[in-house]
Amino acid sequence: MKSKRIVLVCAFGSMFASGLAIAHGDKHSAPAKVDYSKAEQMPFGIAADPKKASRTMRIDMADTMRFSPAEIKVKRGETVRFVVTNNGKQMHEMVLGTMDELKKHAELMKKHPGMEHDEPHMAHVAPAKTAEMGWRFSKAGTFYYGCLIPGHFEAGMIGKVVVE
């Protein structure tokens, strides 16, 4: 009798966990709803309506833990529409920020790998899916984008944005 309970508990736990994984993946492939009139200025810019972008940048993500392109250049004040495609079989994300912010967030993700968030500077993309986000780079400098899923950032899944 005890072994039947264990089997049932394991089967239920497995179904529950796979349901969470599916729901988690679906939620992250949906674009975030952003009220751009309330967007907050960040050290690396501000969220902007992708429909009002002056340029579209396509960013591909792969299971090789690389972004392509790995570096982009934009002009200060330019609004960019990022079209982010996950060409891999694993979940990936593109998170804009300073290197310090990305490192801190990557450490937090290691401690809480299931943490859900949808900030306007983050695009979570399920395998074989595409997401988009808009960003206005209001400050000159060097900023970064990274995949903060545990292990990905550490494996080198980092890109650079040079704002001139």
Structural domains in the chain plus CATH codes: 31-163 (2.60.40.420)
Whole-prediction pTM value? 0.79
Reduced to 3 states, what is the DSSP secondary structure of residue 35?
coil
- Does residue 21 surpass a pLDDT of 60? no
Q: Identify the DSSP state of 34.
A: -
Distances (CA, A) of 34 to 11, 38, 77, 87, 135: 39, 8, 20, 25, 12
Q: Identify the DSSP state of 45.
A: B
Q: Which residue has the higher pLDDT, 156 or 18?
A: 156
Phi, then psi, of 117 in degrees rounded to 5: -160, 150
Place 108 in a pLDDT band, splitting at 50, 70 and 90. Answer: confident
pLDDT at residue 130 in the model? 97
Phi, then psi, of 66 in degrees rounded to 5: -135, 150
pLDDT at residue 111 in the model? 85
Which residues, in sequence order, are CB contacts of 30 under 8 Å at separation 6+?
131
